[in-house]
Amino acid sequence: MARGPRIVITLTAEEQQTLEMWAGARKGERRLVERAQVVLLSAQGLPLREVSRRSGLSPQNCSKWRKRFSLQRLVGLKDRPRSGRPPVLSAHQRLKVVALATSKPTDGHPRWSTRTLARQIGIGPTSVHRILQEGQLKPHKTEYGCGRSPDPEFEAKQAAILGLYLNPPNHALVLCVDEKSQIQALDRTQPELPMRAGNARRLTATYQRHGTTCLLAALAVHTGEVSGRCVDQNDHTAFLTFLKALYRQYPRKELHVILDNLSVHKHHQVQEWVRRRRRLTLHFTPTYASWLNQVEIWFHILSKEILRDGVWRSKQALVQQIMRYIKDYTQHRAHPFRWTYTGKPLVA
């Protein structure tokens, strides 16, 4: 059988540098590394069998890549484009997935999932997931935001409260006051199993309720101190009693109390008592803007550290733990919350 002419490989400096880079790449494609080695070894004048031995490829493969390089140079070492598998889903099905995912379900579900979309259209959940990813659609996610407050005095009320936070009057104390109601004293029907290596803390799903309590709390904005009182029922009488206690707790201080628009805060008996106190001023947050009240931040800390997954044998035990936590927090952890918002001011 006649053999073809011997292929002589001669490299330019640029080709030599590129091939050495490909051959020495540790994270590159293995096939490209081997092909680059074949060409480099052939450029040294080594016979085909020696090139095959050193590169680990068969002589037929080595001959193939030497020919491809001699004809197309570096481009010839890369795989040629392939037609690929024809698409299984039609364009109409893809558009239907997108149209359904961006509309509200009519069967009572609040949102679509990949499985409900797949059942509705008649394709697999994996295909639905891939189409949603390509379109950057995430029906499982919901973003919440604060809508625009309808309060016509939003800007003035907001400015007054932020002014108290950032630049309070001299010799004045700014207090954020609010209630956390319906705190349940839950006991588990089986003893708690403590955490150990390999196992998390375990609680039974069944529980026994020993009543509820309501926490009235006041946060001193510029010191971080917290005052609190637990009551059985949150009404204007309990709120007024708590307000009087705060007034006595901070004598010779001008008090600015920030509240939301709960009806008990605006009860006529509360307003009448406040009118007769020279060093007490109430500031109400705008409508739908109770998030301006910083005590809500502290309520989140309380819920995360104490109330979540708690176990209490009685309502009294719950109240005692809450009051101990408030005392410990005020004595050892109290600090003003750091202002971090750097965006545009909120306007009505």
- pLDDT by residue, tens only, the chain of 348 residues: 445 566 778 888 888 888 888 888 777 778 888 888 888 888 888 888 888 888 888 888 888 888 888 888 887 787 777 777 776 788 888 898 999 999 988 878 888 899 999 988 888 999 999 999 988 999 888 887 767 788 889 889 999 999 999 899 988 999 999 999 999 999 888 888 888 888 888 888 888 899 999 999 999 999 999 999 999 998 999 999 999 999 999 998 999 999 999 999 999 999 999 999 999 999 999 998 888 999 999 999 999 999 988 889 999 999 999 999 999 999 999 999 987 777 766 554
* Domain 154-193+203-333 in this protein, CATH class: alpha beta
- DSSP symbols for 180-191: EEEEEEEEESS-
pLDDT of residue 35: 85
pTM: 0.64
H helix intervals, 56-103: 59-72, 91-101
Distance of CA 59 to CAs 30, 51, 66, Å?
18, 8, 11
Distance of CA 113 to CAs 107, 117, 131, 142, Å?
13, 6, 13, 13
